[in-house]
Chains A and B, each alone.
Chain A
Amino acid sequence: MTALHLIPEVAPALAPVAGPVVGPVVGPGADVAAAVTPDAGPAARPAPPALSLRGVRKEYPNGFVALDDVTFDVAEREIIAILGPSGCGKSTLLRCVNGLEPIQAGTIALDGASVTGPGTDWSEVRQRVGMVFQNYELFPHLTVLGNLLLGPLKVQKRAKAEATERALELLARVGLADRAGDYPRQLSGGQKQRVAIVRALMMQPEVLLLDEITASLDPEMVREVLDVVLELAADGMTMLIVTHEMSFARAIADRVLFLDAGQIVEQATPDVFFTAPATDRAKQFLNLFEFRTPTKKTASGRGVGHRGDGARPERQPRGPTPWPSQPTPRPTAHRPS
């Protein structure tokens, strides 16, 4: 799994660092960022973060504030999992980073260069920041190969032979070598999403944004997609991952950002976040993914059934979890299926 080299272009100037590289952290969760590992040698220049957000604010015309003073850095080769309840602004955050949503305040910088000015060439930025969507969004009128070649040929003006060779190579590596001539409608959801990942990789991005890429998939297809992402991680791809797959986030992320109501409430390494979250809101959120027998014995006194009325005496202790009390997001991978 190591020698797959899905992204051979990432030949970093820095020596590969073993531990998670946590950039300078500002914001409410700054105290947990003590685990900074200045592991790079003293000769290494202080490279600007691959991606840097400062005080980003996203407000919709109707006055709804989707992101409020969001500030964080992403180091090269770092993988960040963005967690939080539905509607907390996770997806909006990703969409702001590659300009699908304009922001109202703050700056976003790639490799130290701001991309939030009025003269931003978004076409150029988006080539450097790849994005994969929840619903794959392959182009239905093009074959798999056509989907993969559109960007390289029309945007990057690359040679068709070279791009085709690259596309087939990447398809083979995600196990879809024989599907190049198929149309998206002939593929399963998991296959479509793998094609969508390859399509983003074709542009040779520096940063990859994954927006709930397994949320529309059947449980048995989630794995094949996440395996591809794990390979990318092994190859050193810098990634921002919005996901509801908690165990996946814990395994792959160098750092977890917990968003609630448009703000970064907490950021920590996955081990810290999942075992000892610092904030109550993070605890409440993580509790949604825990399934306990429905007794009243909970740590915080509110527990899973947080509807307010703790008393439900005639409930069978071993019965199924009372479904209506489980709000979104659904813990897909943890659901007994």
Chain B
Amino acid sequence: MPDLGLNVLFEGRNFVRLLGGLWTALWIALAAMAASVVLGLPMGVLMTSRHRLVKLALRGYLEAIRVLPQLVLLFVFYFDLTYVTGVNLSPELAAFIVFTLWGTAEMGDLVRGAITAIPLHQYQSGYALGLKPSQVQAFVVLPQSVRRLLPLAVNLVTRMVKTTSLIVLIGVTEVLKVGQQIIDRNRFQYPDAALWVYATIFLLYFLACFPISRLAQTLERRFAV
């Protein structure tokens, strides 16, 4: 087995380093997702509010986040923020903030959708039993919304994990960056290292995202009404 490019992965601590990079990406995505859930739930509830101004403001926020590429947001928060305010964020923190802003907007929209998808008759059916509005929310609307929401939220996690591949551009040493380092370091010993390293990264992303994606499918089927 002479000169097989695959061996580059087992030079030194290369494979462990790749896993470490993946962990950095996952960690940022999951932390941002957790924050997005916490902030997105009230945002979604507020988006169903009757106050026109509240609705307009949240709608505007959602659309603004949606039309901007995540990469632009990352640059704005990492470079421009420092330039304007002098606050120097670590790249990880900037990534976390941007992903949370994005996730909150998406999550809020998902929550809004899940709440408005509950038919009016379900509310009335609850009221007809004598349930108070808060009880209808707690025992009828929220449980059903969560069931609709869960598969969609899990899908958002996979989107976040994938989008972490951008944060290499503001200097976070995540899995892609580690891969490039390994490729550059071994350019002469393993000329085809790129093939193997990127294939491994592909596999790592797959292993991270596929179970999450399957979980979403399972939840969707389980909660189908």
Contact = CB atoms under 8 A, between A and B. Distances in A.
B122 interface: yes
A135 to B, nearest CB: 6
Interface string A110-131: 0000000000001110110011
Contacts of A199: 129
B130 A131 contact: no
A100 B130 contact: no
A139 B223 CA distance: 13
A154 B132 CA distance: 10
Contact of B129 (A95, A124, A135, A150): A150
B140 interface: yes
A151 B130 CA distance: 7
A122 B144 contact: no
Contact of A137 (B124, B144, B147): B124
A122 B140 CA distance: 18
A34 B135 CA distance: 46
B212 interface: no
A185 B224 CA distance: 9
B202 interface: no
A98 B128 contact: yes
B139 A150 contact: yes
B191 interface: no
B143 interface: yes
A141 B225 CA distance: 8
B122 A100 contact: no
Contacts of B127: 99-100, 122, 126
A185 B222 CA distance: 12
Given A140-B225, A141-B143, A151 B121 contact: no
A99 B140 CA distance: 19
Contacts of B128: 98, 100, 126, 130-131, 133, 200
B131 A100 contact: no
Given A139-B140, A140-B144, A141-B147, A150 B131 contact: yes
A137 B131 contact: no
Contact of A133 (B121, B140, B224): B121
Given A155-B135, A185-B225, A126 B130 contact: yes
Interface string A77-111: 00000000000000000010011100000000000
A151 B144 contact: no
Contacts of B225: 140-141, 185
Contacts of A151: 129-131
A151 B132 CA distance: 10
A183 B106 CA distance: 31
A95 B144 CA distance: 24
A203 interface: yes
Contacts of A99: 127
B144 A154 contact: no
Given A126-B129, A203-B130, A154 B135 contact: yes
A123 B131 contact: yes
Contacts of B7: none
Interface in A159-185: 185
A155 B129 contact: yes
B122 A203 contact: no
Nearest to A126: B130
Contacts of B139: 150, 154
Interface string A129-154: 01101010111110000000011001
B135 to A, nearest CB: 6
B132 A123 contact: yes
B125 interface: yes
Contacts of B124: 95, 100, 133, 137
A99 B131 CA distance: 13
B114 to A, nearest CB: 12
Contacts of B125: 133, 137-139
A99 B133 CA distance: 13
A124 B127 CA distance: 11
27 contacts: A95-B124, A100-B128, A122-B127, A123-B131, A123-B132, A124-B130, A126-B128, A130-B128, A131-B128, A133-B125, A137-B122, A137-B124, A138-B125, A139-B122, A139-B125, A140-B144, A141-B143, A141-B147, A141-B223, A150-B129, A154-B131, A154-B135, A154-B139, A155-B130, A155-B131, A185-B224, A200-B128
Smallest CB-CB A-B distances: 6 pairs: A137-B125, A151-B129, A127-B130, A155-B130, A131-B128, A140-B225
Given A141-B147, A200-B128, 20 more contacts: A95-B124, A122-B127, A123-B131, A123-B132, A126-B128, A126-B129, A126-B130, A127-B129, A130-B128, A133-B124, A137-B121, A137-B122, A139-B126, A139-B140, A140-B144, A151-B129, A155-B131, A185-B224, A185-B225, A200-B129
Interface of A: 95, 98-100, 122-124, 126-127, 130-131, 133, 135, 137-141, 150-151, 154-156, 185, 199-200, 203
